[in-house]
Structure 1
């Protein structure tokens, strides 16, 4: 009997020592989110993130931003390579647009302000009226809207090349049209680009990529049945995911 009691006491002491030494360390690791995938079984790293932001595929290839080279509002030459390493949003607009462009750029200023301390976020705004939208005009336009992000470039240059990038490169419609207000017809969509220059998108409720985000609907607009809903908040979520 004495032997058995001695064994119990020894086991109890081992358990007590283990608890004193190791349990506080385990609790500390949990609190610091230091438990890694190898500590668990079948853990998906993205399980705690928002919706997946997938690639857009065209002809079996991931869709990438077409090469471009234009002048910005400061007179500097900007290319697609200047955005490598950054998550950024692309839009097509013109400064005298009386309809959707003011809404689009008001939304983008809101997006800009959510990432004011993020150096790896940018915006590329391509003017579809480059004859009017000179660097000087675009500089005033940027100041009017309160643009502060140093990686938000308002780009101007050869009209045909800009239209080719819009219509062929992205598939975001832009063209001259004397029958519409302002004389230019264009889409109010935003493209989301990752750090490697690929076009990215979340899926809709049916599992299909939305491809582009609605930029021409006011972020806080009350939507009635049948109207398009704002997508600025989900754009912000997806920017965060890519960052």
Structure 2
């Protein structure tokens, strides 16, 4: 091997060495700071196989898959919203009220965190139904949305006839709501979320015994992990399952 060839190999080695010194630390910094994960996770998600059914189960009654009942209410912008507006979207259901002094602020803070996770997906939404429609007018709901940082155009905070809302909660979703003057806020209701697929069916993961969990606990945050009563957070599970349904 002549000297000229040796010099060529030495030159190539020097180029590789310089590349490693300059660029590898920068790449490691991006990974440690989460930049690559944040910026490239959407492209990774886009590469996943579309149209593939997830392992999330359908919630059934007597062998019949439960679907979101028909509804029609007014949102925070004064626009009429129906269940048809959510077709083709994966979305989360909740029942709340703006003057709630206990669990609602925690529920909606968690939902805003979920919203921000899926901010780049046009087919993700949330349906929030007030159980205090006399107070929660569209104007009140609009102010509430601004206060909590609700920006997703598919997140509708809805108000309407109380009887229709309570029927939707108690009979349509079996998510308990009721008036109760003896407790703070004057209402009692579940802190659970329901997850809906693109075709309007209620879906969930199964527990360790093979039974559907049906609802996702919405009060405990991901950062808390477990509350004072030993209840574990399910927001991380909800986000994982939203991603699965978005990919169906």
Interval containing the TM-score (normalised by the shorter chain): 0.7 to 0.9
Find the residue that maps to 1:122 and give its secondary structure: strand
Q: Shift in Å at residue 210 of structure 1?
A: 0.3
**Paired residue secondary structure (2:128):** strand
TM-score, normalization by structure 2: 0.77
Between the aligned partners of 1:183 and 1:144, the Cα distance in structure 2 is 22
TM-score (norm 1): 0.78
Matching residue of 1:84: 87
8 A Cα contact 2:92 2:127, kept in partner = yes
Structure showing greater radius of gyration is 1
Q: Residue deviations 1:50-96, cap 9 Å, x none?
A: xx211001111001001000000000000000000000000000000
1:56 aligned residue (51, 55, 59): 59
Equivalent residue, structure 2, for 1:138? 141
1:148 corresponds to 2:139:
no
Unaligned runs of 5+ in 1: 1-33, 37-44
Q: In the TM superposition, what is the alpha-carbon distance from 1:223 to its structure 2 partner?
A: 2.4
Unmatched runs of 5 consecutive residues or more in structure 2:
1-46
In structure 2, what is the Cα distance between the partners aligned to 1:106 and 1:160? 27
How many Å apart are 1:217 and its aligned residue? 1.5
Q: Distance in 2 between matches of 1:223 and 1:192?
A: 21
Q: 1:117 offset after TM fit, Å?
A: 0.6
CA distance in 1 between partners of 2:228 and 2:162 (Å): 38
Q: Which residue of 2 aligns with 1:24?
A: none
Matches within 5 A, 1:75-224: 75-223=78-226
Across the aligned residues of Structure 1 and Structure 2, the Cα RMSD in angstroms comes to 1.7
Could you give the per-residue CA deviations for residues 202-233 of structure 1, whole angstroms, max 9, x where no partner exists?
A: 00111110000000112211427961100000
**2:202 & 2:72 partners in 1: Cα distance?**
18
The one of 55, 70, 77 aligned to 1:67? 70
1:189 and 1:225 mapped to 2: Cα distance? 18
The number of aligned residues is: 197
